[in-house]
Amino acid sequence: MKTINGFFIGFLLGGAVGGTLALLYAPKSGKHFRQDISTKTNDLLEEGKKITIDSWNGVKEKTESTIENVNKFLKTGKEKIAGKTDKVKESLIAGVNAYNKAKILPNSQNNMSEEKVEITHK
């Protein structure tokens, strides 16, 4: 982006210097000369404004695109984390249920009090 901006600034300055030199060496009266300088200056200012607006719009589009890509990346990351969280919860519940089942069977054979671990799924 710096190269492009440097190119346009050089272009504008070169145009201004070239235009001024052309006007200085042209055989014209003072009134016509001042009018030409005013016209060229206004043209250069308008061209500079246009280049600035185009550059600004390019930066704006690039920024919006970057923000959109970051949001997609974050959304994908959140979905992956949510999926892994659900799998961990399911595994934990299955492990607790297996533990309870293994603990109850030996206890019921010995008529001992049943101690049960419970986990709730939110």
Which residues touch 36 (CB under 8 Å, ≥6 apart)? 23, 26, 28
**Smallest Cα–Cα separation from 21: which of 40, 8, 7?**
40
Query: Which pLDDT band, with edges at 50, 70 and 90, does 111 fall under?
Result: very low
Q: Tell which wins on pLDDT, 113 or 68.
A: 68
What pLDDT score was predicted for residue 8?
Answer: 75
Domain ranges across the chain:
2-110
